[in-house]
Structure 1
Amino acid sequence: MSTFNGTGVAVITPFHPNGEVDFGGLEAVINHIIGGGVEYVVSLGTTGESATLNKDEKKQVWKRTVEFNNGRVPLVAGIGGNNTYEVLRAIEEFDTTGYSAILSVSPYYSKPTQEGIYQHYKAIAEKSPLPVILYNVPSRTGSTISAETTLRLAHDFKNIIATKEASGSFDIFNQIMRDKPADFKLISGDDPVTLPMMAMGCSGVISVIANAVPKVMSDMVRLCLKGDFATAQPLHYSTIEFTRLMFAEGNPGGVKEALKQLGVCGNTVRLPLVGVSRSTADQIGIQLKQLA
């Protein structure tokens, strides 16, 4: 599916200072990132603070995202969790209108075996009316989807079309790229390793920093897709310090601060997250001026 070649953005969920969802801010962010040339948008992934939204809020965010997007780019909905049956129920209740796929994070906290992870995704694949993108992020889940499990799922279920890989393991990346089905996509889940992953044949990135600097990231990824790594490298290097700052005091606190300084939306996050320190905010401002 060429739909998921290029730059996807794990879009933030803006909040008013009182903690309520800021839908005006969400519209502004979506316009900002689409205006920056990205290929698709992921709603309510980790960066969208999905863990702190209730069911009704999620439904409203997904619905309004479709409205604000207005058919401009493909949309992906983040629907995952560590209770398989609750995930299946959420998928069953999900209004697929306007969405092209589901991104589902590997079960967290429970630390299932590889067979447990396989059975979890098997159940999702059999239930989902949309294609499924796996999401391997051991730093958050406490367990890793092995390359063998990813490949088993990719070969066994045609509607499991890709994996967002945020393990940082090039051993896993190598195995997936070598043994995957031809139409299965490896997608970078970490901004800093996108360029080297694309040199291996990965199809792009689901980015955090592209919330704030969509043009820089999408330009770099498109150059990589063309095989022009020499021109892409300066763009890659230009984002290194900015990316470090985005995660220095937790995601999405950093990128929300960047968006506030850009005048796109506010920087409020929901507890247990807190905003970045003044020192980090000042450094973010310096980097934004250099990337502008």
Structure 2
Amino acid sequence: MQSFVGTGVALVTPFKKDFSVDTEALVRIVNFVIDGGVEYLVVLGTTGEPATLTNDEKELVIKTIVDANKGRLPLVLGVGGNNTAQVVEELKTRDFSDFSAILSVSPYYNKPTQEGIYQHFSAIAKASPVPVILYNVPGRTASNVLPSTVIRLANEFKNIIAIKEAAGDIVQAMKLIQTKPKDFLVISGDDMVTLPMVLAGGAGVISVIGEGFPRQFSDMVRLGLERKVDEAYELHYQIADSIDMIFEQGNPAGIKEVHKALGLSENTVRLPLVSVNQDLSDRIKAFTKNSLTAVTV
């Protein structure tokens, strides 16, 4: 589980202007974040736009990242959905030899009860050949995984090792940290509250902004874990404005604009998402240009 202490990044799927998957850009992004000092990579999370990828494209993204990583960092694969049986079937049939864990989002749209959420993740835990990181993001799923449900799962299934907590509620996060089993990891899913969560006892973050400014953000998380509070907050405030900007008009449109400014990829997203408007684009470009991490790639 120490593999998932620190900064993980939720990788985008870069597209060319014709909306096809840009594998060369994806390799550049993988190398960029690894060189920036992050601890692990998350493949086909929400930021990777898997909802608009075909099965063949998903396999292409996975192969490209695995090949580019060359075993340097642990990889986490997004495997989740609102059809429990379908998720279980994927867990039973997919080759996970290149992955250290899965990230599994709470069921969306169906709006299950807490018991339904428990039973969903219970089935996943029983089927998964690798450790499971739960993902709570009520803003996308329309249901909140309560701390009591998380702790119940963590206590009953040893292969449920962590939660990516993205409810945007620091009090809920602190309740998780207070009541969790000793080795269970509470990982921030909100870039802006990552440092407070780490200082409260969290294990780090699965980040979006860390894919644009990996050196600064991963250094901030490490300083927080080392309890070097002033130094950590200095870095936090250096990049705080960029966190607001990349989510202002939706994810991953914002972070793809950062990647374009860095020369890593185009800023193309697939419908129903659209690229950021010109005003936000100009502000992101200006911030990136002034950032210490803005280098020509």
TM norm structure 1 = 0.98
> 1:41-77, CA deviations, whole angstroms, 9 ceiling, x for partnerless residues?
0000000101111222112211221111001110000
Aligned to 2:42, the other structure's residue is in SS state strand
Q: Does 1:240 align with 2:240?
A: yes
Residue of structure 1 equivalent to 2:74: 74
Describe how 1:143-162 pairs up with structure 2 within 5 A.
Answer: 143-162=143-162
Gaps of 5+ in 2: 293-297
> 1:114-166, CA deviations, whole angstroms, 9 ceiling, x for partnerless residues?
00000000000000000000000000000000000000000000000000000
Once residues 95 and 68 of structure 2 are traced to their aligned partners in structure 1, the CA distance between those partners, rounded to angstroms, is: 16
Residue of structure 1 equivalent to 2:54: 54
Deviation at 1:242, TM superposition (A): 0.5
Gaps of 5+ in 1: none
Identity %: 53
Q: Does 1:45 align with 2:45?
A: yes
Write the letter of the residue equivalent to 1:234: E
Aligned to 2:8, the other structure's residue is in SS state strand
TM norm structure 2 = 0.97
Residue of structure 1 equivalent to 2:220: 220
Residue of structure 2 equivalent to 1:285: 285
Residue of structure 2 equivalent to 1:189: 189
Once residues 21 and 95 of structure 1 are traced to their aligned partners in structure 2, the CA distance between those partners, rounded to angstroms, is: 22
Describe how 1:103-142 pairs up with structure 2 within 5 A.
Answer: 103-142=103-142
Residue of structure 1 equivalent to 2:63: 63
Deviation at 1:93, TM superposition (A): 2.6
Residue of structure 1 equivalent to 2:295: none
Q: CA RMSD in A?
A: 0.9
> 1:87-123, CA deviations, whole angstroms, 9 ceiling, x for partnerless residues?
1122223221211000000000010000000000000
Count of matched residue pairs: 292
Write the letter of the residue equivalent to 2:194: T
Write the letter of the residue equivalent to 2:185: K
Once residues 184 and 290 of structure 1 are traced to their aligned partners in structure 2, the CA distance between those partners, rounded to angstroms, is: 38
Deviation at 1:289, TM superposition (A): 2.4
Residue of structure 1 equivalent to 2:4: 4
Write the letter of the residue equivalent to 2:166: A
Contact 2:174/2:197 (CA < 8 Å) preserved in 1?
no
Aligned to 1:269, the other structure's residue is in SS state coil
Runs of 4+ off more than 3 Å: none
Once residues 291 and 163 of structure 1 are traced to their aligned partners in structure 2, the CA distance between those partners, rounded to angstroms, is: 31
Residue of structure 1 equivalent to 2:33: 33
Once residues 93 and 277 of structure 2 are traced to their aligned partners in structure 1, the CA distance between those partners, rounded to angstroms, is: 39
Aligned to 2:205, the other structure's residue is in SS state strand
Once residues 257 and 173 of structure 1 are traced to their aligned partners in structure 2, the CA distance between those partners, rounded to angstroms, is: 30
